[in-house]
């Protein structure tokens, strides 16, 4: 079974198992010849990882430095498991209303 991931709010809809995959918690999941990423900011991680695969880890490091990619989120609540219950409930409520619209 392959590993795969997606944005945490979409994971319920994706249902990895129905596609023959097990859910991963990584930001970039490399499983054999498949690469998946989850979330908007993980797209930067994904791009750097792809560059490193194609051009070598030293080039990945160069790109990371050239971008000055050193994330430091102001609130530190960018994953459901580290967000406060109130913040998580607010997001779920907003998304539920959006998906039902």
Host domain of residue 80: 76-101
Alpha-carbon distances, residue 14 vs 35, 45, 89, 92 (angstroms)? 16, 21, 21, 16
Rounded-to-integer distance, Cα 27 and Cα 38, Å: 6
pLDDT tens track, the chain, 101 positions? 888 877 777 765 456 677 777 878 788 988 888 888 888 888 899 999 999 999 999 999 999 999 999 999 999 999 999 999 999 999 999 988 877 75
| pLDDT score of 40 | 84
DSSP states of 13-31:
HH-GGGGTEEE--SSEEEE
* Residue 10 counted as domain residue: no
Domain count for the chain, please give it: 1
* Residue 90 counted as domain residue: yes
| pLDDT score of 96 | 84
* Residue 51 counted as domain residue: no
Give the predicted TM-score (pTM) of the model.
0.74
């Amino acid at each position: 079974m392959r590993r795969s991931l997606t944005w945490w709010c979409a994971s319920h809809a994706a249902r990895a198992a129905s596609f023959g995959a097990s859910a991963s918690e990584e930001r970039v999941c490399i499983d054999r010849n498949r690469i998946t990423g989850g979330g908007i900011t993980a797209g930067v991680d994904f791009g750097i990882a792809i560059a490193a695969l194609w051009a070598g880890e030293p080039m990945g490091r160069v790109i990371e430095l050239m971008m000055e990619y050193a994330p430091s989120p102001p609130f530190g609540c960018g994953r459901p498991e580290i967000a406060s219950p109130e913040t998580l409930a607010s997001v779920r409520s907003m998304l539920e209303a959006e998906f039902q619209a």
